[in-house]
């Protein structure tokens, strides 16, 4: 049969289909069968992109997930064979400034996650719902021929009550106005009391799952959080759909996770404590690992710095003190521009290493601290231009869209230097800051600094991360259990767009660190 003859036969079959699905007849008349998400389209079909027009797909079930923010919609129909993608938008509440939640799932991703029944039904996790509300959800089903079918569903959700009385009762200091420009609309708060929470820029909690593990050591990747266990080398993968999988960090001697998990070169970087030879190296090791916990690369800062100091004439035993929290690594960042790792040592400085060799590229820190008394370390020190301030007790290092080093400058001096050694400067306020650094000349300057009018001081923890369009999310964490934690959203010009304050129950517990999350435009392949 020639292609033209075949087309004519198929069209005649469809024209005879009074009250019957054309798609089913196409299959019966020789159109062949397709599995969900099949990408190939027979050229004979290009004259009639009618998969959506002939679709019998509909929403046939709705069930609640592990929290009010997660529901599962079941889509059923014989037309599932030609479906490639499912997208949905959760309508914003009247007066909301945050862009609506919008997620798109490739059907292949849903199949991989076990949401296909093998016949005519597929389940779609709908996440980011308002709690205690009738959510109006608009779905778009995209088929292999380029056509699309709209569907709608109203999802009623239960109320969310935070057992700690914190996250469901923010103090809205500055409310984001509808239409006010900001590069992000959602962010994750890393909480000591359980899983991270996703909050929108109106202050509404939009995602949370009842995980008892601390969310302090966590990061977000694709459609899930990766969480490190503070009491073991265990890892949890907590999906936006509420599913949980576990793994173990494959680093010999690793006994727990401390502080940040951060995106690495190809995997995730953590900062575990490591024991060996009867000594525990506290917070001076970084390891990049894959989804299964296998180590891709690791850096022993005690060994790296000791070898460098010996090679350059200094006695490292005076600086590197195994078994003591001499380094206190709290965050890392991978810099793709020169294939390097940046590590934040709260006690000393920010240090940049060659990713592969571990060779020191530069050191940025308060030159009045103990580390600067060693000539070998001082030789790698970045000198800042007049008027620029050195970071003190910093957290949350990253590389922003301009290629600058970005961090939260706490302003707190060192706590664990040897007796009589200089602990450095102290400031009465904290800042978000970005530095431009020349690795060849070891010269640098502040590209910008936001200090909130020098009115807020977070002695420990905290973070500052860039969102799209050069927006910034600043987290002033509390440490004393009295002062509230402040979450501040800045536009590209560093104007305050929103600011929320949250009650504190324990040091840094409410908002150890916070990161933008792209729930307004998330694609899961």
Per-residue pLDDT of the chain (525 residues; tens, 9 = 90+): 443 333 333 333 332 233 333 333 333 333 333 446 544 444 443 445 689 999 999 999 999 999 999 999 999 999 999 999 999 999 999 999 999 999 999 999 999 999 999 999 999 999 999 999 999 999 999 999 999 999 999 999 999 999 999 999 999 999 999 999 999 999 999 999 999 999 999 999 999 999 878 999 999 999 999 999 999 999 999 999 999 999 999 999 999 999 999 999 999 999 999 999 999 999 999 999 999 999 999 999 999 999 999 999 999 999 999 999 999 999 999 999 999 999 999 999 999 999 999 999 999 999 999 999 999 999 999 999 999 999 999 999 999 999 999 999 999 999 999 999 999 999 999 999 999 999 999 999 999 999 999 999 999 999 999 999 999 999 999 877 788 999 999 999 999 999 999 999 888 999 999 999 999 999 999
Domain-located, residue 26: yes
Domain-located, residue 399: yes
**Count of CB atoms situated within 10 Å of the CB of 501:** 19
Q: Which of 456, 479, 506 finishes a domain? A: 456
pLDDT score at 197:
98
Total structural domains within the chain = 3
Residues 364 and 400 in one domain: yes
Domain-located, residue 447: yes
Residues 84 and 14 in one domain: no
Q: Which of 432, 521, 470 is nearest to 182 (CA)?
A: 470
pLDDT score at 483:
87
Residues 274 and 143 in one domain: no
Residues 64 and 23 in one domain: no
Domain-located, residue 175: no
**Count of CB atoms situated within 10 Å of the CB of 32:** 11
Name the residue range of residue 129's domain: 58-156
pLDDT score at 481:
74
CATH of the domain at 142: 2.60.40.2470
Domain-located, residue 230: no
Residues 15 and 132 in one domain: no
Query: Which neighbouring-strand residues pair with 140?
Result: 87, 150
Residues 450 and 354 in one domain: yes
Number of residues in the chain: 525
Contact 2/37 with Cβ under 8 angstroms?
A: no
pLDDT score at 37:
54
Measured distance CA(29)–CA(1) in Å, rounded: 13
Domain-located, residue 292: no
Q: Which of 156, 183, 206 finishes a domain? A: 156
Residues 312 and 394 in one domain: yes
Residues 6 and 149 in one domain: no
Residues 17 and 140 in one domain: no
Instruction: Tell me 326's DSSP state.
Output: S
pLDDT score at 33:
38
Q: Which long-range contacts (CB under 8 A, 24 or more apart) does 34-38 make?
A: 34/81, 34/82, 34/144, 35/81, 36/80, 36/81, 36/83, 36/107, 36/108, 36/110, 36/111, 36/116, 36/122, 37/83, 37/84, 37/106, 37/107, 37/108, 37/111, 38/81, 38/82, 38/84, 38/144
Residues 68 and 14 in one domain: no
Domain-located, residue 494: no
Q: Which of 406, 423, 456 finishes a domain? A: 456
pLDDT score at 198:
98
317 token code pair: 């035993």
| Alpha-carbon distance values, 117 to 26, 55, 112, 270 (Å) | 23, 18, 12, 37
* 3-class DSSP assignment, residue 35: coil
59 token code pair: 């929403």
pTM over 0.95? The answer is: no
Residues 419 and 323 in one domain: yes
pLDDT score at 79:
96
330 token code pair: 């709290």
Residues 126 and 274 in one domain: no
Domain-located, residue 419: yes
């Amino acid at each position: 049969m020639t292609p033209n003859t075949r087309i004519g036969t198929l069209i005649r079959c469809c024209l005879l289909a009074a009250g019957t699905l054309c798609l089913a007849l196409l299959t019966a008349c020789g159109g062949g069968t397709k599995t969900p998400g099949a990408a190939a389209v027979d050229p004979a079909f290009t004259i009639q992109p009618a998969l959506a027009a002939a679709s019998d797909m509909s929403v046939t079930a709705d069930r609640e997930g592990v929290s009010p923010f997660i529901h599962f919609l079941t889509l059923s129909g014989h037309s599932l064979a030609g479906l490639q993608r499912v997208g949905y938008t959760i309508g914003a509440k009247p007066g909301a400034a945050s862009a609506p939640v919008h997620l798109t799932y490739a059907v292949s991703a849903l199949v991989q996650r076990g949401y296909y029944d093998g016949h005519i039904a597929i389940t779609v996790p709908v996440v980011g719902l308002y709690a205690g509300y009738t959510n109006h959800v608009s779905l778009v089903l995209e088929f292999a021929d380029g056509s699309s079918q709209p569907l709608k569903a109203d999802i009623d959700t239960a109320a969310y009550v935070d057992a700690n009385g914190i996250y469901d009762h923010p103090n809205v200091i500055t409310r984001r106005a509808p239409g006010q420009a900001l590069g992000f609309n959602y962010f994750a708060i890393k909480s000591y009391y359980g899983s991270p929470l996703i909050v929108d820029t109106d202050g509404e909690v939009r995602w949370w799952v009842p995980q008892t593990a601390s969310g302090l050591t966590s990061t977000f990747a694709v459609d899930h959080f990766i969480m490190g266990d503070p009491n073991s080398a265990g890892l949890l993968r907590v999906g936006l759909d509420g599913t949980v999988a576990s793994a173990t960090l494959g680093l010999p001697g690793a006994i727990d996770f401390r502080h940040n998990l951060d995106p690495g070169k190809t995997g995730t970087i953590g900062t575990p404590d490591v024991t060996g030879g009867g000594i525990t190296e506290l917070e001076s090791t970084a390891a990049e690992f894959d989804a299964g916990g296998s180590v891709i690369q690791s850096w022993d800062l005690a060994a790296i710095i000791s070898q460098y100091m010996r090679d350059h004439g200094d006695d490292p035993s005076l600086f590197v003190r195994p078994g003591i929290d001499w380094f206190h690594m709290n965050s890392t960042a991978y810099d793709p521009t020169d294939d390097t790792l940046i590590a934040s040592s709260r006690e000393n400085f920010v240090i940049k290493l060659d990713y592969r060799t571990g060779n020191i590229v530069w050191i940025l820190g308060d030159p009045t601290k103990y580390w600067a008394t060693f000539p070998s370390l001082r030789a790698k020190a970045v000198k800042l231009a007049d008027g620029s301030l050195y970071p003190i007790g910093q957290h949350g290092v990253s590389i922003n869209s301009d290629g600058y080093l970005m961090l939260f400058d706490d302003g707190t001096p060192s706590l664990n230097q040897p007796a009589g050694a200089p602990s450095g400067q102290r400031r009465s306020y904290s800042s978000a800051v970005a530095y431009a650094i020349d690795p060849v000349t070891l010269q640098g300057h502040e590209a910008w600094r936001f200090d909130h009018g020098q009115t807020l001081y977070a002695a420990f923890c905290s973070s500052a991360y860039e969102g799209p369009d050069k927006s910034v999310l600043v987290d002033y964490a509390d440490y004393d259990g009295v002062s509230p934690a402040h979450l501040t959203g800045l536009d590209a010009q560093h104007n305050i767009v929103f600011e929320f304050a949250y009650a504190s129950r324990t040091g840094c517990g409410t908002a150890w660190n916070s990161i933008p999350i792209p729930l307004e435009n998330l694609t899961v392949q």
